[in-house]
Amino acid sequence: MTTSSAASTSNPVQRVHSALFPTAAPTTLHALPSLAAELGVKALYVKDESARYGLPAFKILGASYALASVLGRRWGVEPWDVAALRERAAKDQVTVFAATDGNHGRATAHTARLLGLPAHIYVPRTVEPWSVKAIESEGCPVTQVDADYDGAVRAAADAAEAAHGLLIQDMSWEDYVDIPELITQGYMTILSEADAQLPPGVQATAVIVPVGVGSLAHAVVQWYHGGVSGPALSTSPNVRILSAEPEAAPCLHTSLANGAPTPVETSFTIMPGLNCGTVNPEAWPDLQRVIRPADALVVTDDEARAEVAALGGLGVPAGPCGAASLAAARKASLGKEDVLVLICTEGVAGSA
């Protein structure tokens, strides 16, 4: 199951990705035996999302599938019929909105540009200037609001409603659940590729995923354990799911410890893509069901920075958010028979 051959399959996620990015290949799954020995596990692999479809992070997987799907419904065409989407876009210049810490907004704007639509992206006060410039490079305005991530989401939602635009957001709330679920479905390409890229006869026993609002973690949980949307899609049984969050924004860690969704106050972190104070409500039931409180791991900026250097030395160009999974692995209780997969969600700042 790979994105490069998606057009010949009936899987809608694959078909959309293949149609929008016809020359793209699956991202690399690095085997890192030296790290496996260091952590005392049987094998360690890193799924490297530092160059996904020409962008430096995995977010394009969800934004592209969700936007194409919503537009397809709006215009009565198949979401993988890119020519038809562009033809309708030329006549219906609906503006696409999103809130972001960086990568989701850029991915949404990039997809809108590919389809010929304007976009407007909202960011919280903590977003760095280089991240704003990266989003602006997609040819769209960026509005920075004097609020945290949750406040930026509210501002983007209000702006989309006022402009009769389309909000493509990975956070759910009452009457806004369909698009976040489409985004989660788009993320599952990471897991389908990773399963196919493991050596014959090898199956993951543990996966560590960085968490912001938890939508990617929701995709991981649904892939390996199923959920409200359907059964598990992976053939790997009993995969343990662990999460990695910054010390500045441990919303899942706190919620699992409390046994209920618990917003947290956030502060600055070098992991801006994980700087979110509230768990996605749509994801919460599945995350609570599968991830043990002890496996919701919290890492510091210094720990993430050290793993950026460690992974870089092994040929993985991880940014701090992506390296958080390795920082968490060093704190996890793992066994000598574990086959560990780390999801490296992004590359270094300023990469292509």
Torsion angle defined by CA atoms of residues 82, 168, 29 and 244, in that order, rounded to the nearest 10 degrees: 180
How would you classify the pairing of strands 29-31 and 43-48?
Answer: antiparallel
Q: Is the pLDDT of residue 1 over 90?
A: no
101 is catalytic: yes
Catalytic residue among 101, 148, 150, 195: 101
165-217 confidence digits (pLDDT tens): 999 999 999 999 999 999 999 999 999 999 999 999 999 999 999 999 999 99
What is the number of other CB atoms lying within 10 angstroms of the CB of residue 187?
27
d(CA 123, CA 248): 18
Confidence grade of residue 61 (pLDDT, cut at 50, 70, 90): very high
Which residues make Cβ contacts (< 8 Å) with residue 218, sequence separation at least 6? Answer: 184, 227, 280, 282, 283, 286, 287
Instruction: Reduce the DSSP state of residue 97 to 3 states and report it.
Output: strand
d(CA 80, CA 96): 18
Predicted pLDDT at 101: 87
Nearest to 145 by CA among 101, 200, 195, 179: 101
Q: Is the pLDDT of residue 341 over 70?
A: yes
Mean pLDDT of all residues in 279-285: 96
Residue with tokens 């910054």: 246
Percent of the chain at pLDDT > 70 equals 96
Catalytic residue among 48, 59, 286, 295: 59
d(CA 256, CA 242): 12
Domains and their CATH numbers in the chain: 3-57+184-344 (3.40.50.1100), 60-178 (3.40.50.1100)
What is the number of other CB atoms lying within 10 angstroms of the CB of residue 54?
11
The strand ranges marked E within the chain are: 29-31, 43-48, 96-99, 119-123, 142-144, 166-167, 206-210, 240-246, 296-299, 339-344
Name the residue type at position 285.
Answer: P
Q: Is 31 left (phi over 0), alpha (psi -120 to 50) or beta?
A: beta
146 is catalytic: no
What is the number of other CB atoms lying within 10 angstroms of the CB of residue 173?
15
Task: Enumerate the β-bridge partners of residue 341.
Answer: 45, 207
Predicted pLDDT at 228: 76
Please give the C-alpha separations between residue 125 and each of 128, 148, 169, in angstroms, as whole numbers: 8, 6, 18
101-154 confidence digits (pLDDT tens): 889 999 999 999 999 999 999 999 988 899 999 999 999 999 999 999 999 999
Residue 323 host element (H or E)? helix 320-329
d(CA 318, CA 213): 20
The total number of residues shown for the chain amounts to 352
